[in-house]
Structure 1
Amino acid sequence: MTARSEMRIAVLRGRERFEIDDVPVPRPRPDEVLVRVVASGVCASELDRWAEGPAAGEALYLGHEVSGVVTEVGEAATGVAVGDRVGVWVTERGFAEYVAVRAAYCFPAGDGPLDEALAEPLACAVNAVELAAPRLGDDVVVLGAGFMGNLVQTLAGLRGPRQVIVADTRADALERAGRLGAARVVDVTRESLADVVRGRTGGRGADVTFECTGTQPGLTTCGDVTRMSGTIAIVGFHQGAPRQVALDHWNWMAFSIVNAHFRDLGTIMRGMDAGLRLVSSGVLSMAGLVTHRFPLERIDDAFATLHDKPAGFVKAVIVFPEE
């Protein structure tokens, strides 16, 4: 049982403005455990809320990509013990020194770095690849070589495709995709991705295309590179202005459209379990994908870095000192 009675938590109270509050450490319910947070990932899905801020007089508690160490176990909680290193499922209040979470929402993180054992984004990538279901020998295109694109590329590679082609606008991101095993990388500011894909597939197009940019150009390009009756998986988090697609073309091409965003809890849990099993066993490596680490006091800097994406950026996390 933790001896501390108070903890620090980041609270969004204005546009691009977090404040750090001291609040009581949460007490776990009978079916919950208390987890000392070691790392909490900064997610692009929360970027708009940070930029816009809460409504006047209100506050937001962000953070949902949490890993840490179990320090207390509720009397009815099973399958988890004090000292276990875990990735957990929370929907908010993850930028804090402790979280209370149901034992069923905790998954073993293995012996590797906890700031690389981010179960929630792993689940998103695992579920996206499983739903799109690239087959042995398929030609796969990944649009976007950021953190999620890197995970999707690596997981798709585990399914035995003939080749994975990765496109982006950033030289450092494409270099990283090459190191991760891409058969071909394409800088779309210099080359036509459609031409490259046609050339490498005998004019047929990709069997499966993963859209991981969350942008209109990325979505448009999906229709240019995917074969007739191929699959387009929308992985990117599309925010802002409404998106458009050439629906007449998409209809004619008989694309299968996969919405790789999941709200069903069972699906999320299964993805978290599978993702951390891959990481903890060494089948999937997260090494080098967490590039920027910030203490809680610099959480605004972490979000600004995600927004600006400086050279070499992949993923930012908030880290807490080990006790």
Structure 2
Amino acid sequence: MRIAALRGRETFEVEEAPVPSIEPDEVLVRVVASGVCASELEPWLTGPRVGEAQYPGHEVSGVVVEVGAEVTVPAAGDRVGVWVTERGFAEYVAVRAAYCFPAGDGRLDEALAEPIACAVNAVEAADVRLGDDVVIIGAGFMGNLVQKLAALRGPRQLIVADARADALERAVGLGATRTVDVTKESLPDVVRSLTGGRGADVAFECTGTQRALTVCGDTTRMSGTIAIVGFHQGADRTIPLAYWNWMAFKVVNAHFRDVAVIMRGMSVGMRLLAGGVLSMDGLVSHRFPLEEINSAFATLREKPDGFVKAVVTFPEP
């Protein structure tokens, strides 16, 4: 089978490798799509140590082609979203059956269970409630998912901020009650005007930048919730902790490493997707074959107009 190996700065190489063997509690999945995650961007930019290789890829969907002796579900032929931690940019992955979730009848290249789970867990951890005023900073892929899921909680207002006109237009299409172009308006001022000076009940930081983190503190009401969804890479971040203490914010780290939490998020997210409650339509904007995986990562870095999410796709046999 073919697999992408990261062997240098901005350099994936497509290599041949054996098809993985499976354990009795595992299944073999033919990969249809593997999402390009922002958390993998910095490793691609820096590359591994000289002479070493890395095998990233963890946002996988595909079709079960073989099941282990102890597996009752899923069955061969089932369409699934799966959880793997590496080696996802490959034609096949071996994965525990318990880490596979039905993908329904929609597009498999949009059935990205891992990022959907991240957004589900973020919204649940932030505990958006009926009638809340919610701010989402960042209208990229994760911001869009958070917006869609937060909307299911029945907020009074969904205010979405970004610096890109196309992203804000997409947020409107997804049901934002107000958008804020942060290059032209002050987000804290807009939020205060919409909430009678009170501030947001819940603010989701979905960009992974210092500026957005800072603005969260200026946007959220006393005893409100700040949920850090963005993946913060590179330089250390700073916050005015004395002010955050005084404001008694509830700070939610919306990144989870507990497998049980991840699995529950996947189960909930894929039930919503397969049941038609959550739509991924339009959220995968760029598709690349395995041979163009470096272009997929470059597109994530450059974020051209209209960019939301890139996936690496594999042709049907």
- Into which bin does the TM-score normalised by the smaller protein fall? over 0.9
Structure 1: which 4+ aligned runs deviate by more than 6 Å? none
Distance, in Å, in 1 between the alignment partners of 2:34 and 2:104 is: 17
Q: How far 1:290 sits from its partner (Å)?
A: 0.1
Q: Counterpart in 1 of 2:98? A: 104
Matches within 5 A, 1:72-151: 72-151=66-145
Shift of 1:115: 0.5
Q: Distance in 1 between matches of 2:47 and 2:4?
A: 13
Match of 2:239 among 227, 240, 245: 245
TM-score by length of structure 2 reads 1.00
For 1:24, what is the secondary structure of its paired residue? coil
* Structure 1: tracts of 5 or more residues without a match: 1-6
Cα distance in 2 for partners of 1:225, 1:17 equals 40
Counterpart in the other structure of 2:265: 271
Amino acid at match of 1:92: E
In structure 1, which of residues 221, 225, 230 is the aligned counterpart of residue 219 of structure 2? 225
Give yes or no for the alignment of 1:312 onto 2:306. yes
Partner residue of 1:294? Answer: 288
| CA distance in structure 2 between the aligned counterparts of 1:80 and 1:279, rounded to whole angstroms | 17
Q: Deviations over 1:274-321 (max 9, x none)?
A: 111111111010000000000000000000000000000000000000
The counterpart of 2:195, out of the listed 185, 188, 201, is 201
Structure 2 residue 18 is matched with structure 1 residue 27 = no
Residues of 1 paired with 2:162 and 2:12: CA distance? 32
- Per the alignment, residue 4 of structure 1 pairs with none
Which whole-Å CA distance do the structure 2 matches of 1:172 and 1:311 have between them? 7
SS at match of 2:17: strand
Using the alignment, how far apart are the partners of 1:125 and 1:218 within structure 2? 18
- Specify the code of the residue in structure 2 equivalent to 1:182: A
Structure 1 Cα separation of the partners of residues 220 and 284 of structure 2:
31
Once the two structures are TM-superposed, the CA of residue 169 in structure 1 deviates from its matched residue by 0.3
- In the alignment of these two chains, the number of paired residues is 317
Percent identity reads 76
For 2:251 and 2:194, how far apart are their aligned partners in 1? 23
Q: Could you tell me how far apart the structure 2 residues matched to 1:9 and 1:101 are?
A: 16
Cα-to-partner distance string for 1:238-273 (whole Å, 9 max, x where unaligned): 011100011111111100000000000000000011
CA distance in 2, matches of 1:92, 1:52: 18
Which residue pairs with 1:65 in the alignment? 59
Structure 2 residue matching 1:49: 3-state secondary structure: helix
Q: Deviations over 1:95-130 (max 9, x none)?
A: 000000010000000000001000000000000000
1:10-49 correspondence runs (5 A): 10-49=4-43
For structure 1, which segment, 244-253 or 261-270, has the greater mean C-alpha deviation from structure 2 after superposition?
244-253
Deviation at 1:27, TM superposition (A): 1.2
Q: Secondary structure at the match of 2:251?
A: strand
* Equivalent AA in structure 1 for residue 112 of structure 2: L
Deviation at 1:78, TM superposition (A): 2.3
Aligned residue in 2 for 1:3: none
Q: Aligned partners of 1:262 and 1:78: how far apart in 2?
A: 28
In 1, Cα distance between the equivalents of 2:266 and 2:290? 25
Q: Secondary structure at the match of 1:248?
A: helix
Partner Cα distance (2:139, 2:98) in 1? 32
CA distance in 2, matches of 1:36, 1:213: 32
Q: Distance in 1 between matches of 2:256 and 2:188?
A: 29
CA distance, structure 1, for counterparts of residue 16 and residue 148 of structure 2 = 40
SS in 2 for 1:221: helix
